Structure 1
């Protein structure tokens, strides 16, 4: 048992209900949402404890519920964390990321930090040869970044600033931006190791002083913020050019976003929040990883029995995902 109340213990194996499959879990990631659940804060406050954590399990289909083809047993798959309701207007328009009634693995229902987990077939995707750890690292981070670029309608040659570029989402955003033919600038507190070729770098320093690190003439068509810092997003929005778009994919650090309303209005800016992805974006994202177009760095791997070390590694400075091998 860790100091924060997380423990490893035996529980009954779940039985897949109608429309569900049982995954024999191979890997699952450590995510900020896990910490929110533990602390009972933010989106994690929706969890009813005790709750098995783990939003992004990858594994092998071991059993199926009523109405599911048994031929799926043995398939190598990964689960999308966000489970849309399937009935609302947004789901009907294939905009599953905007479903207001979506649930999340490891929050509203037990997640995948366990030997077996039951999940709806609707959020299960074939891995097509991707290793389990790679699929776990990619299934949420890559699609959510694709959603951000889709929302910003990024065009070839546009100037894209990625803030929080040293993190997992930021590193993915650099690859996606290059893939789309954008001119990409990475902004991070410290130099980003393994920066992709052709990406310009801005080091903001420990105080994340973006405004002080850019040239007076620097302007961008699109900001993709993956930092979760409202203060940094405030600075980044101020660097948008005419008709600029800012999309933020995280909001875990602070909430005090400040905008110059007059400038925002007169310069025709747009601000968009992205918190999950559509089914199509998951399919596209996994394929980009399979093709080697997008890299999702993995920093550390731990066995499930050493979950306390996994959370300690997540809290420490790192460049990559923390994976739990189940």
Structure 2
């Protein structure tokens, strides 16, 4: 099959395009002919060796996949060749207490497609049958591939961790990122007033077109003061953040007394300074978050089918230009998802 794989760890130049043996199909698995695969910052972190640095090479990246079922393994029911599907990227054992309790993303054996096992930068991918869901008919392949990882991640942050309520002020950092695009819409769906930050006025305008009520350019040193001004001096009741060390102190200062912060990444660095007096004196709550239970993809897809949530495709490239897609992602030149057509 045609595919893009990592030959070593480093810059985009380590990605190679060519022919490689297809994955074998086993019992309980489904093989999908990939139509589109969306890029995530996780792909970049794995490529650089920041995430899963001991991963065997060669390795195929790609968490977010939409395609057509090519074949099914023994024992698979409810899925048939020809089905148009979306692939849920979180893979777990399905047997432990966490999995059976609906917290499969806390499974001790939890893996993410494209990080811990071969992903979707290829013509074919093999996944457990439990990771297959029907593609909403109203979406293109590109839009469908833009859904799973970012919308699952944002759903857990906004709904499960922060428990956003109608009328609350929700701050969404780095509005152009895939997780933030999803978080803006999910927060609005739950009745919040959304304040989005971005590094350019163009991205802020796009965030407002998506539903954000206010925009703040966080390239200014005292950007958090503008958040407080927009909330009458109070600050944000809840914060969706993945920006990392560079903005962390500002995020804390932009949060209201008794406010909540959900943290899902650290794009600008992991080593952040935390003013502890703000945490205990102002009684802030900080929630770490990674992915979400596979079950959360069901309501997400239902809202997408109803037109209440919409993935945003920012750039499209052929599979052979995956390296250029990584450059677009790292340079933050795109609002929404970068998607590869296969």
TM-score, normalization: structure 1?
0.92
- Report what 1:9 is aligned to: 18
- Report what 1:112 is aligned to: 120
Alignment of 1:200-239 (within 5 A): 200-205=214-219, 209-215=222-228, 217-226=233-242, 228-239=243-254
Q: How many residues align?
A: 323
Whether the 8 Å CA contact 1:20–1:119 is kept in 2: the answer is: yes
Alignment of 1:1-326 (within 5 A): 4-41=13-50, 43-69=51-77, 72-129=80-137, 130-149=139-158, 150-191=160-201, 192-194=204-206, 195=208, 196-197=210-211, 199-205=213-219, 209-215=222-228, 217-226=233-242, 228-316=243-331, 317-326=333-342
- Matches of 2:54 and 2:303 in 1, distance apart? 32
- Residues 119, 255 of structure 1: CA spacing in aligned structure 2 closer, same or farther, 3 A cutoff? same
Whether the 8 Å CA contact 1:80–1:124 is kept in 2: the answer is: yes
Deviation of the 1:215 alpha carbon: 4.3
- Structure 1 unaligned runs (5+)? none
- Matches of 2:249 and 2:85 in 1, distance apart? 39
RMSD of aligned residue pairs (Cα, Å): 2.1
Moved over 3 A (4+): 212-216
- Residues 104, 50 of structure 1: CA spacing in aligned structure 2 closer, same or farther, 3 A cutoff? same
Deviation of the 1:120 alpha carbon: 0.8
Q: Out of 159-168 and 312-321, give the one that drifted further.
A: 312-321
Whether the 8 Å CA contact 2:90–2:294 is kept in 1: the answer is: no
SS in 2 for 1:223: strand
Q: Deviations over 1:92-116 (max 9, x none)?
A: 2101222232112122211111111
- Residues 239, 307 of structure 1: CA spacing in aligned structure 2 closer, same or farther, 3 A cutoff? closer
Deviation of the 1:176 alpha carbon: 1.1
- Matches of 1:3 and 1:121 in 2, distance apart? 32
Deviation of the 1:198 alpha carbon: 5.9
SS in 1 for 2:303: helix
